[in-house]
A and B are shown apart, each in its own frame.
Chain A
Amino acid sequence: MRDGLTQLIIISIYLSLLLCLGVFASRLFRGTKKDYLLASHSIGPFLLLMSLFGTTMTAFALVGSSGEAFTEGIGVYGMLASSSGIIHSLCFFLIGVKLWSLGRKYGYTTQIQYFRDRLDSDFIGILLFPILVGLVIPYLLIGVMAGGTVVQTMTAGAFPNLEAFSDPSPARHGGVPPWLGSLAICTVVLVYVFFGGMRGTAWANAFQTLVFMVLGLVTFVVIAQTLGQQNSMLENLKTVTSKVPFEKVTREHMSQTKFFTYLLVPLSVGMFPHLFQHWLTAKSANSFKVPVVCHPIFIMIVWVPCVLIGIWATTLKLPPTITPNAVLPFLVKSQTGPVLAGLLTAGILAAIMSSLDSQFLCLGTIFSNDIVGHYIGHERLSDRQSVWLARTFIVLVVVVTYGLSLMGYKSVFAMGVWCFSGFASLFPLIVAALYWKRLTAWGAYACVLTAIGCWLYLFRDSEFGANGEYAVMLGKYEVMPVVVIFFSSLVAMVVVSLVTPTPSQETLARHFD
């Protein structure tokens, strides 16, 4: 069989399985808006863990981590993985549980609903809406574009004589072109989200999280055996790692202040609108206990093998033009057989799609709930109309995202960091809303406008994310842009809140008593 064709068949079978899961999920759908958007608050600890973890781990975790370890060395694990293990759980514990409780009590579906109620302000919704959508779209693009690239790399050689499948790079020639791979991924995710809603998304996330965790470990073992050529796994690991250059097994050339300020990046999960929606699906506050405890361990299980594979790649002769994003797909293709390569591609796609689904659903929910529903009046829409409204917007979001994905490609890692930095800079707002009575609507406006103003300025300064090494110099210290944005928005929020009138006593009583 031609090179790449086996992988294409396996990928097609995997995507078909997901379509079947979508049909199965549609049978579980209870027909109500609450069930479509929040799974009727029925998600228990295991499904909550799998859906939260699957949603936070995207192409960034597999393709981005191995590529960045290839470039920067093992420091990438401390920079994002172990810090996320501490901080993500902190956000679930301090923010997730409390928002879940308020959401259950007052019937919120989205972040914007919560902020409108907490701040007695309709305008905060109008202000946050374009910003949240604008930050989620690049996050979606990371997945859609990485998926298309991975499929093309892994199926290279399948159709070498087809004009549409030709590519100047031999490593990609004859593979499914990115526009077609991305289209297939978007279509499959759209089908199971469209029919299954949040319940279908939660089940698909659980299935896909298991797939990418297991196949990630299998990749690690197989690549170690292929590169090591020894009789035991331990000997393989020793042989392969002993060849890695000094700067890749240490953090020698990584700026300490940059490493330190990366701690702010994982705070982004506190403001992810798609995680907010997942939090509200929990059946009880106790459902959060398993995700809080297991999240750091799950991150470790996924990231350690990817980081080691990334540093092992530095010992190989790779094509001189290889980009960091292509390191893992290239290794899988060159170091394993076609069947395993196909399965591992399915694993990478699982990680990507388990994030895309929640984000598509979340944006559809924001459009239908916070814009159309809010201004038409929720009471004027039946459950059936609300569900179809959400579905219509989900289709629109998928079409727009796919269209944007055809326009270009940047580093998964750099794009991810900018996207996370934007959400992290809004973190002071959610913490203040939950724990600071003195927060005012004007303080919130100042926080959001300062955050987005600083973000846009620095993003432009970094050549729109093209400069992957971009950092801000504070005196002689090199820090991540998120530091400047985070503290600017925090100061603006506190100062403006202190000089403007607080929300009504009635509102404060609802949220704090």
Chain B
Amino acid sequence: MKNVIWALVIILLIIHQDNWFTNDTLIFGFMPIGLMWHVGISLCAAFVWYLATVFAWPHELEYDDNPGTEEGD
């Protein structure tokens, strides 16, 4: 699963470089298509990182010698 997640990150970085979306179409009449494309990439990035926290989290790095209330939580 880790490899799938790294593949998704690489795919995101590749589509991040797309040049076609030199198009002045306005999505919903106000959103330049190039900007919309990258808003989509931002949302996809959040989803890919969510998958990483579920399927590829480095649990072996956990370290807790101070159990107690978390600040702000």
The yes or no verdict on A and B being binding partners is yes
Residue of B nearest to A303 (CB): B42
Q: Is residue B7 within 8 Å, beta carbon to beta carbon, of the partner chain?
A: no
Give Cα distance in the complex from A260 to B14, angstroms: 10
CB–CB B72/A47 < 8 A: yes
Determine whether B3 belongs to the interface, using a CB cutoff of 8 Å to chain A: no
| A85 adjacent to B41 (CB under 8 Å) | yes
Known contacts A82-B16, A241-B32; A250 and B23 CB within 8 A of each other: yes
Interface segment, A168-176, A286-294, A463-471, A498-506?
A286-294
CA distance A296 to B52 in the complex (A): 14
Complex: A122 Cα to B6 Cα, angstroms: 36
- Residues on the B chain within 8 Å of A410, using CB: none
Q: Which residues of A contact B46 (CB under 8 A)?
A: 85, 293-297
**A299 at interface, CB cutoff 8 A:** yes
Residue from the set B29, B31, B49, B59 with the largest chain A CB neighbour count within 10 Å = B49
Q: A234 contacts B30, CB within 8 Å? A: yes
Counted as pairs of residues, one from A and one from B, with CB atoms less than 8 Å apart, the total is 158
Q: A285 to B38, Cβ gap below 8 A?
A: no
Give per-residue flags for A55-98: 1 if the beta carbon is below 8 A from chain B beta carbons, else 0: 00000000000000000001101100111011001100100011
Q: How far apart are A283's CB and chain B's nearest CB, in angstroms?
A: 5
From known contacts A240-B30, A249-B24, A251-B22, infer whether A44 and B73 are also in contact, taking CB-CB under 8 Å: yes
Report the separation of the CA atoms of residues A230 and B58 in the bound assembly, to the nearest whole angstrom: 52
How far does the Cβ of B37 sit from chain A's closest Cβ, in whole Å?
Answer: 8
Contact B52 A292 (CB under 8 A): yes
The answer to whether B16 touches A283, judged by C-beta atoms less than 8 angstroms apart, is no
In chain A between 374 and 395, which residues have their CB closer than 8 angstroms to a CB of chain B? none
User: Quick one: closest A residue to B54, CB to CB?
Assistant: A289
- Bound complex: CA A81 to CA B69 (Å): 34
Nearest Cβ distance between residue A354 and chain B, in whole angstroms? 15
Cα A100 to Cα B45 with chains together (Å): 23
Q: Are A234 and B53 in contact, with the CB atoms below 8 A?
A: no
Q: How far does the Cβ of A165 sit from chain B's closest Cβ, in whole Å?
A: 39
Interfacial chain B residues near A246, Cβ < 8 Å: 24
- Cβ of A237 within 8 Å of any chain B Cβ, yes or no, is yes
A43 part of interface (Cβ distance < 8 Å): yes
Minimum C-beta distance from B29 to chain A (A): 4
In the bound complex, how far is the Cα of B19 from the Cα of A256, in angstroms?
8
Q: Size range of the interface on B? A: 35 or more
With a cutoff of 8 Å between Cβ atoms, the chain A residues found around residue B30 in the complex are: 234, 237-238, 240-242
B10-43 CB contact bits vs A (8 Å, 1 = yes)? 0011001101001110101111101100110111
Cα distance A299–B62 in the bound complex, in angstroms: 27
Q: Which residues of A contact B41 (CB under 8 A)?
A: 82, 85-86
Given contacts A42-B66, A98-B61, A251-B19, contact A47 B24 (CB under 8 A): no
- Is the CB–CB distance between A85 and B42 below 8 Å? yes
With known contacts A39-B71, A90-B9, A242-B26, A304–B63 Cβ distance under 8 A: no
Known: A44-B70, A250-B34. A300 touches B29 (CB 8 A): no
Q: Assess the B73–A45 pair: CB atoms within 8 A.
A: yes
Interface residue? A309 (CB, 8 A)? no
- Which residues 84-119 of A sit at the B interface, judged by CB distance below 8 A? 85-86, 89-90, 93, 97-98, 100-101, 104-105
Tell me whether A284 is interfacial, beta carbon within 8 Å: yes
Q: Are B16 and A93 in contact (CB under 8 A)?
A: no
What residue of chain B has the Cβ atom nearest to residue A69's Cβ? B35
Q: Does A188 contact B (CB under 8 A)?
A: no
Task: Tell me if A507 is interfacial: C-beta within 8 Å of chain B.
Answer: no
Offer 29 A-B interface pairs, CB within 8 angstroms, sorted by A: A47-B71, A47-B73, A50-B72, A81-B38, A83-B16, A86-B9, A86-B16, A234-B28, A240-B30, A241-B29, A241-B32, A242-B26, A249-B32, A249-B34, A250-B22, A263-B13, A284-B63, A284-B64, A285-B62, A286-B62, A289-B53, A293-B46, A293-B50, A293-B53, A294-B46, A296-B49, A299-B42, A300-B39, A308-B35
Known A39-B71, A86-B13, A250-B34; further 15 A-B contacts with Cβ < 8 A = A44-B71, A44-B73, A46-B72, A78-B16, A86-B9, A86-B45, A89-B45, A101-B62, A105-B63, A202-B72, A237-B30, A250-B22, A284-B63, A285-B57, A311-B32
Name A's B-contacting residues (CB within 8 A). 39-47, 50, 74-75, 77-78, 81-83, 85-86, 89-90, 93, 97-98, 100-101, 104-105, 199, 202-203, 206, 234, 237-238, 240-242, 246, 249-252, 256, 259-260, 263, 283-287, 289, 292-297, 299-300, 304, 307-308, 311
Seen from chain B, the residues whose Cβ lies within 8 Å of a Cβ on chain A are 9, 12-13, 16-17, 19, 22-24, 26, 28-32, 34-35, 38-39, 41-43, 45-46, 49-50, 52-53, 57-59, 61-66, 68-73
